Amino acid sequence: MIRKLAQIRTRRDAVLATLAITAAAVALAMAMTALATIDAPAERQLRAVEIAAWISFLIGIIFSYWFVDSFRAIVQLKDTVDRLARTDDLTGLNNRRSFLAGAEREISRAERHGEALALLILDLDYFKRINDTHGHRVGDMVLVATAEVLSQSVRDGFDIVGRLGGEEFAVLLARCDEDAAAQAAEAIRAAIASVRVSTPGGEIATTASIGCAPIAAGDTVSAALQRADEALYAAKRGGRNRVATCTKGGGGSASSERAERQRRDAVAREPLKRSA
């Protein structure tokens, strides 16, 4: 994309430069003509000077347009490069670096305002088996479908969603305490489990294990990630396709009674829609 922009930019600059050089050459020729006919009638000399002045004015307009247009193109190109640097190529979500930077800012903001936060890390179950059986193209389709579920399950402008790498995703839930985060995670789990991806060999489904870590005052991004990761592996050990929560100072746990209640609630509920 950047290469195409550069090619278009180069062709347009070439046209503008050609016009400017041509106008400059004509202006110079007219000026030389005026000098060569110094003995000509004054009216003729004045006419030549006027023509040269108008051509010079035209050159000024061309160069002014070129400068403004070049500046605008540079700004647009910078915005495009910045966006591509923040975005995961496949899913369009925040990439790992962008997600962590956004999470760090949001944690600082929430701590200043005394607001609750929670971090979710989810990993698609048996994803390698999907790649090995159906190929990487189908695996990519599953990743894109998962990203769409996550994007539809959070509040735009509040929560942050990103792909950490491979089949691992993360969600930072703003203004969300432990119970609300567990419910949100369960709704996301149920939504992913309901997705069907069409392939030449038929539809395939996938599930996700989710680790949930409420973020307490004084927490860092790395500490929250570690606890969410511990909870994720607790969910994996517990049989996959489930949610586990790890509080500060505690290990990953998944209360069967609460998990079953949340699972029943999620079945009857549309994908997560939380009011701001």
Domain that holds residue 237: 96-267
81-93 per-position pLDDT tens digit: 555 567 999 999 9
Asked if 76 and 106 sit in the same domain, the reply is no
Judged against a pLDDT cut of 50, whether residue 145 lies above it is answered with: yes
Asked if 65 and 100 sit in the same domain, the reply is no
Cα distance between residue 133 and residue 32, in whole Å: 78
Asked if 156 and 236 sit in the same domain, the reply is yes
Q: Is residue 272 one of the residues assigned to a domain?
A: no
pLDDT confidence of residue 139: 96
Q: Is residue 273 one of the residues assigned to a domain?
A: no
Span 92-118, mean pLDDT? 94
Split at pLDDT 50, 70, 90, the class of 60 is: low
Pairing state between β 202-205 and 196-199? antiparallel
Q: Is residue 117 one of the residues assigned to a domain?
A: yes
150-186 per-position pLDDT tens digit: 999 999 889 999 999 999 999 999 999 999 999 999 9
> Active-site residue 148, yes or no?
no
Asked if 135 and 25 sit in the same domain, the reply is no
Phi, psi of 202 (to 5 degrees): 120, 180
Burial tier of 275 (Cβ tally within 10 Å: 0-12, 13-18, 19+): exposed
Percent of the chain with pLDDT over 70: 59
pLDDT confidence of residue 144: 97
Reduced to 3 states, what is the DSSP secondary structure of residue 263?
Answer: helix
Asked if 54 and 179 sit in the same domain, the reply is no
Q: Domain boundary at 52, 86, 120, which? A: 86
Asked if 157 and 205 sit in the same domain, the reply is yes
Q: Is residue 276 one of the residues assigned to a domain?
A: no
Cα distance between residue 13 and residue 2, in whole Å: 16
Task: List Cα–Cα distances, 152 to 218, 239, 266, in angstroms.
Answer: 30, 26, 15
Q: Is residue 112 one of the residues assigned to a domain?
A: yes
222-269 per-position pLDDT tens digit: 999 999 999 999 999 999 999 999 876 555 554 433 444 444 444 444
Residues contacting 97, CB < 8 A, separation 6+: 86
CATH code, 252? 3.30.70.270
Phi, psi of 109 (to 5 degrees): -65, -45
Q: Is residue 91 one of the residues assigned to a domain?
A: no
Q: Is residue 274 one of the residues assigned to a domain?
A: no
Active-site annotation holder among 167, 178, 186, 270: 167
- Per the listing, tokens 């586990």 go with 244
Task: Label residues 166-192 b or e (16+ Cβ within 10 Å = b).
Answer: ebbbbbbbbbbebebbbbbbbbbbbbb
Span 6-12, mean pLDDT? 53
pLDDT confidence of residue 201: 83
Q: Is residue 258 one of the residues assigned to a domain?
A: yes
Asked if 103 and 227 sit in the same domain, the reply is yes
Cα distance between residue 262 and residue 256, in whole Å: 10
Q: Domain boundary at 86, 108, 133, which? A: 86
Asked if 241 and 148 sit in the same domain, the reply is yes
Q: Domain boundary at 51, 86, 121, which? A: 86
Number of domains, the chain: 2
Asked if 165 and 42 sit in the same domain, the reply is no
Asked if 237 and 132 sit in the same domain, the reply is yes
Asked if 203 and 141 sit in the same domain, the reply is yes
- Tell me the β-bridge partners of 169: 122, 163
Asked if 149 and 228 sit in the same domain, the reply is yes
